[in-house]
Amino acid sequence: MSIQTLYQQLEQSLALGNSAAIVSAYHANGGVDKRLLTIDDEQAWARLKELEADPATQTEGPVAHRFEKDGTLALVEHYNSKPRFIILGAGHIALALAPIAKAADFEVLVYDDRASFANRQNFPDVDEIICDGFDQVFTRIPLRASDYVVIVTRGHKHDADCLRGILAGVEPAYTGMIGSKRRVAIVREQLCAEGYDAARIERTHSPIGLRIGAVTPFEIAVAILAEVIEVKRIERAEARYSTCDPAIAAELARRGDDFDAMITIFSTQGSVPIECGAKLAMTYAGVIAGTIGGGCSEGEAMTVARELINSETHTDTTGSSTAPSRSDASEGKTSWRIHTVDMSDSAEEDGMVCGGTMRVVVEEML
């Protein structure tokens, strides 16, 4: 499977809202095996979690790695789809909430039954606008477990329609409903009487938002977004949303076959310009996509990549091992090297803040 095909499959998985991981085995003979795992494959995902929980495995952000006894480097790169922020109701609160949710790196959807409210003039920057009845909302937007749903309609009848749809399907990461205590109580009592899960109803955040004394639509929007972020980062744990760079993944899905080499940061120490999981794809001539931090460190790693492309042997540039020529590797595999970028000396000379080290795996894309 080519790199481009692999990342196309990753993009397809993320488009469905799935969590996924690219698992690479860099073998001592110079070959590389890559595969895509998704959370839907429960058995494989469970084995992956066992590997990551092993004390021999080192995890930094969205990347986990370990060295096997035979010299193989096992590398796991996690990707998560951008969480969706679904705003049900397109009134004053939604007008204030949509742009700040977008700025917080959510995929923002706005839904309302009034075309005069749910339109591009009012919401120029959101990802999707749907105008339809509130009783149809979740036939139009199938819910995902990673969704954040905010109910800010103009009346408790519509609130109840929205909440019915939520309670009938997959439970999203967050459900919040605006309204006074009386309005909220009416909706809850009505839905409990209809036989909906009382525990799920109680997990609805309502009245909505953190208590910050919000009065204006903008202040209410800030309170709502703050509560959503609290759920996302604290209750549901930051690590679940840690993800490798989606931009370079999209670029590799689009034109991965155009590149000659790929460089991935899998370990860091000290102050570095960019975190684990950052990736750069390049042609021999120097056309690049992505970054591993720029500057001299990036140039150094690119030089190693060019040497690898020209080389007939696989060598760990840390000096720990050599291996047979890449002609001995299986057809369609890549040859690779590990390289350590030490920025301590250059950082001091150039007056830069960053002065740590990065370990990168450099692989030829044959």
What's the angle, vertex CA 153, arms to CA 152 and CA 158, rounded to 5?
130
- What are the residue ranges of helices labelled H in the chain? 3-15, 42-53, 92-103, 137-140, 156-167, 181-193, 198-202, 217-230, 246-255, 295-310, 344-350
* Mean pLDDT estimate for the chain: 87
> pLDDT-based confidence at 228, cuts 50/70/90?
very high
Distance of CA 51 to the CA centre of its chain: 21
pLDDT the model gives residue 82: 84
Domain locations in the chain as residue ranges: 3-62+244-364, 84-238
Q: Residue 328 pLDDT > 50, yes or no?
A: no
Q: Selecting from 3.40.50.300, 3.40.718.10, 3.30.70.2340, 3.40.50.720, what CATH number does the domain 84-238 have?
A: 3.40.50.720
> pLDDT-based confidence at 311, cuts 50/70/90?
confident
CA distance linking residue 177 with residue 194, whole number of Å: 19
What does each C-alpha distance from 349 to 272, 290, 302 come to in angstroms? Answer: 16, 26, 21
Amino acid at the residue 165: G
pLDDT in tens, 339-361: 999 987 654 455 455 578 999 99
Q: Quick one: CA torsion of 249, 251, 256, 261, rounded to 10 degrees?
A: -80
Provide the whole-model pTM.
0.72
Helix (H, G, I), strand (E, B) or coil at 60: strand
Q: Residue 251 pLDDT > 70, yes or no?
A: yes
pLDDT the model gives residue 17: 81
pLDDT in tens, 73-122: 999 999 988 899 999 999 999 999 999 999 998 999 999 999 999 999 99
CA distance linking residue 91 with residue 8, whole number of Å: 38
> pLDDT-based confidence at 242, cuts 50/70/90?
confident
pLDDT the model gives residue 345: 64
Amino acid at the residue 274: I
> pLDDT-based confidence at 27, cuts 50/70/90?
very high
Q: Residue 316 pLDDT > 70, yes or no?
A: no
pLDDT the model gives residue 346: 55
- Going 45 to 47 to 50 to 55, the CA torsion angle's sign is negative
User: Average pLDDT of 116-141?
Assistant: 96
